[in-house]
Amino acid sequence: MGFTVEMTPAIAEKLVTLNELHRNRWRPDIVNLLLETDTLRFGELKKQLGITQKVLTENLKWLEENQIVIRTVYPEVPPRVEYSLTEIGKELRDVHEAMRIWADYYVTHAK
């Protein structure tokens, strides 16, 4: 990298959002899984993550409210609800990639 993004109050606010995302136990895992799999039903997310229904619901709701995840309800019985990333959510790939690069640097430079 090497360049710098200017810091405005609006950007600072979204950095807070990003902090709230990463401070959570499951939110990064949910995003990672959706980055890999694109679209998943509630039950699939639950099974693949090994997470509780309550906690999964709470965090999906938070991710939706913060425009990172899209929730699509199909009017069927039994109900079918699918989750996928918004464009903003998909942009998190670069953040995760930066993290992997850092981890790689760590491995090659740690004493």
Partner DNA sequence: CAGAATCCACGTAGATACTG
Partner DNA sequence: CAGTATCTACGTGGATTCTG
Summarize as ranges the residues that interact with a second copy (CB under 8 A).
1, 3-5, 7-8, 10-12, 14-15, 17-19, 22-25, 28, 67, 87-88, 91-92, 94-95, 97-107, 109-111
Number of H helices, E strands in the chain: 6, 3
Q: If binding is defined by CB under 7 A, does position 59 make contact with DNA?
A: yes
CB 79 within 8 A of CB 73: yes
- CB nearer DNA, residue 35 or residue 49: 49
CB 43 within 8 A of CB 82: no
Fill in the per-residue mask, 63 to 82: x = in contact with DNA (CB under 7 A), - = not in contact.
Answer: --------x------xxxx-
Q: Which structure tokens are listed for 104?
A: 């790689």
